[in-house]
Chain A
Amino acid sequence: MRISVNSNSTHVIVAIEGRLDTTQSDSFEKQLLEVIESGQTKIILDCKALDYISSSGLRVFLIAQKKMMAVAGKLLLCNLQPGIKEIFEVSGFSMIFSIHPDLETAIAAI
């Protein structure tokens, strides 16, 4: 798993790549919280290259969303692969995240 962060004057795009399993979630949590704690209030998580997620990865998404809510920020997700989307639906995460089909619509919504 690796993430890359691209920011401009209005928002930051965090692209997640690879597998987010139990062995990777601590590192992902640390990296994502660094972005949030740097004061960014508009964040898009681009999941185009996210191939796999387990409950430990979902946990980090939820922590991030709660932190963004606390600072009245916006956290948007886009480009979820079908398998990942199914996991979000089953967990009820589809209702607590703003999920967009692609990066363009996410940028337009932020």
Chain B
Amino acid sequence: MSKPIKYKLSVSNQLSELGNIHSTLEKLINDWDIPLQFGMPLNLAIEEAFTNVVNYAYHDHEQRLIDIEFVRTENQIEIIITDNGFPYDPTQNADPRTDLPLEERPIGGLGIFLIKKLMDDVQYQRHSDKNILKLTKRITQ
């Protein structure tokens, strides 16, 4: 694999698009020769990032488009999620305490933490009124 292969999906800011995102990812995993065990962490990272954008990036109920670009190179896959919502850098989110006993564990707050733990790299950029979140996962056979 010398040149990167790319695929771009544009979805609306509706949680119902998760089915579409999931089936696209399944197809790419198959077409791009990505071992099946990467399906779960990749799907989870995209879901958490996408759900955050849908729930928090817009302060009205207008329909918007969110771009999800997949880039496969020899040793990794990048997933670049671009939205035109309010500026928000999830990489700055404080990590939750995962060592607390049951009584003290708060409900929720794990989404962004899971992205950071399951991906090898997470980069955020604000560029031309857009939030650009790049998730990178190394692919080993």
- Residues 112-138 of B at the A interface (beta carbon under 8 Å): 113-114, 117-118
On whether the beta carbons of B51 and A87 are closer than 8 Å, the reply is no
On whether the beta carbons of B37 and A83 are closer than 8 Å, the reply is yes
Q: B99 in the interface, Cβ–Cβ < 8 Å?
A: yes
Q: B100 in the interface, Cβ–Cβ < 8 Å?
A: yes
Q: Mark B92-118, 1 if CB is under 8 A from A, else 0.
A: 000001111111010110110110011
Knowing A21-B47, A91-B98 touch, does A96 contact B18 (C-beta < 8 A)? no
What secondary structure prevails in chain B residues at the interface with A?
helix
On whether the beta carbons of B47 and A82 are closer than 8 Å, the reply is no
Contact partners of B114 in chain A: CB under 8 A: 54-55, 87, 90-91
Binds A, one of B38-46, B59-67, B70-78: B38-46
Contact partners of A86 in chain B: CB under 8 A: 40-41
- Residues 53-110 of A at the B interface (beta carbon under 8 Å): 53-56, 58-59, 62-63, 65-66, 69, 82-84, 86-87, 90-92, 95-96
Cα A96 to Cα B15 in complex, Å, equals: 29
Q: A23 in the interface, Cβ–Cβ < 8 Å?
A: yes
Cα A58 to Cα B106 in complex, Å, equals: 12
Knowing A55-B111, A87-B44 touch, does A82 contact B18 (C-beta < 8 A)? no
Q: B16 in the interface, Cβ–Cβ < 8 Å?
A: yes
On whether the beta carbons of A90 and B107 are closer than 8 Å, the reply is no
Beyond the given pairs A91-B113, A92-B97, A92-B98, 11 more chain A to chain B contacts, judged by CB atoms under 8 angstroms and listed by A's residue number, are A22-B47, A22-B51, A23-B16, A54-B51, A55-B108, A55-B111, A55-B114, A56-B51, A65-B102, A87-B114, A90-B118
17 cross-chain CB contacts under 8 A: A22-B47, A23-B16, A53-B44, A54-B111, A55-B108, A55-B110, A55-B111, A59-B108, A65-B102, A66-B107, A83-B37, A83-B41, A84-B40, A87-B114, A90-B117, A90-B118, A92-B99
B-binding residues in A (CB < 8 A): 19, 21-23, 52-56, 58-59, 62-63, 65-66, 69, 82-84, 86-87, 90-92, 95-96
